[in-house]
Structures are given as structure tokens and as C-alpha cells.
Amino acid sequence: MSTLGRVRERALPHFADGTESAKRTLRRELLAVRGGLTPDDVRESAAALAERALRLAELAQAGTVAAYVSVGSEPGTLALLDALRARGVRVLLPALLPDNDLDWGPYTGRDGLVRVQHGGRMALFEPPGPHFGPDAVTEADAVLLPGLAVDARGMRLGRGGGSYDRVLARLESAGADPALVVLLYDTEVVAHVPEEPHDRPVHAVVTPSGVRRFPRT
């Protein structure tokens, strides 16, 4: 059995340790496995993810999509961003603010991205300014969320920085109801993700082998 498969099986017992502890443990295990992926693994998965995601009705009908640029061994997004832009979709990308909130700017192509080092954390690729402000995400018809896992209810495990918790709260406060989509590797669809009161489910998960939708609540 693969290491990621073992992570998937062991996810449920860890939840007895408390929600925050369980999340930290699951994050460490999933990130460790991602760290073992080769560039070819990531590249091949990115092509399959783009192909699957482009078939989603939620993206086919979208005029504006809020997305992000994948880094390191994250499921790749650039092929999808390029394809959406080629369709004429307005693609918004985040720029991390000092308080971990997100500002938003347009994706104009790979050459237009700026590599930004945020302290000791991983460098991110962001749109150059000027930006549109944090509320620009409320204009999106679909939002692509980064994540490490999702469960059978659509509950997403993020990296723990809280940036996308703010995004989801902002959407809810504005009465916006975009499709929420997360891109993952196949084995990151797990039995159960520990949740806190502020956590919200996504509407669909796309993996290299397919799409799974969850009922809107």
C-alpha cells in the first residue's frame, strides 16, 4: 500500500486527539507525501486535472473565476488557468496581505506573475498591482480553493493559515454563492476531515481520475 493510502486509512483514528491536533497531524502526513512526488508526477497530474476541471459546468458557465497559482508539489493549476483565460474567462488570483487576508488581481498569463517571498514561508506567485481589493472575490462565479484533503461530506482541510476561511466568510457575508471547487490528488479524498464551527464544505472536488460533487446546504 502507498504511503498516501496509509494516510487515508489512518485519518479517522487521529480525530480523537482534538480537532486542531487532528488537523495538524493530517496536514503533516499529507504534506510529507506530497513532498515525495516527482516533477513528472506533478506535471502529469496537472494535465489530467485541467482536462477534468474544464468539463465542469460550473467553470464552463463562469464569467469570472477566482483561482490560485500552485506551488511546489501542490496539484498543478497553471494549465487550467491558461485554458480558462483562453476561453475568455476573467481569472482572479490572490495576493497575500500581511494579516493573511487576500487581495485579488487579474491573471494576464504566466509571464505576468510576480514571485513574492512572504517571510520564512514558501514563495508565492501573485499578480502584480494594482489590485482590486479583498471584496473582488465576491464577483466570482466559481472559486478554486487550495486544500490538502476533502471528505465524503465535502469538508476541506486547508493549510491552516486562515486566508481562505476569510474568503469563505466574506462570500457568505456578501450573500455571494459561487461554486466552491478544490483540486486534489486522488488519494487525498479521505474518509473524514476534522471540522471546526467556521469550516464550510465545498461543492465539488476534482482529481486526476474524476469529479465528485457534494450537495449544497
* Residues sharing a CB contact under 8 Å with residue 15, sequence separation 6 or more, in sequence order: 22, 192, 194
Cell of 164: 481562505
- What is the model's pLDDT at position 53? 96
Q: Which has the closest alpha carbon to 147: 68, 212, 92, 78?
A: 68
Spatial separation of the C-alpha atoms in residues 87 and 111, rounded to whole Å? 18
SS3 at position 146? coil
pLDDT tens digit sequence for 160-187: 888 999 999 999 999 999 999 999 999 8
Interior angle at CA 211, CA 206 and CA 215, nearest 5: 100
Cα torsion 44, 47, 50, 52 to 10°: value is -70
Instruction: Please state which CATH number belongs to domain 3-213.
Output: 3.40.50.10420
Spatial separation of the C-alpha atoms in residues 44 and 65, rounded to whole Å? 23
> What residue ranges of the chain have pLDDT lower than 70?
1-17, 217
* Residues sharing a CB contact under 8 Å with residue 98, sequence separation 6 or more, in sequence order: none
Concatenated DSSP letters of 164-189: HHHHHHHHHHHT---EEEEE--GGGB
Half-sphere exposure of 131 (CA within 13 A, CB side): 20
Longest dimension (CA), the chain: 48
- What is the model's pLDDT at position 151? 94
pLDDT tens digit sequence for 116-134: 998 777 789 999 989 999 9
Residue 49: count of CB within 10 angstroms of its CB: 23
- What is the model's pLDDT at position 6? 38
- What is the model's pLDDT at position 15? 39
- What is the model's pLDDT at position 217? 64
Amino acid letter, residue 128: P
Name the residue ranges covered by the structural domains of the chain.
3-213
SS3 at position 102? strand
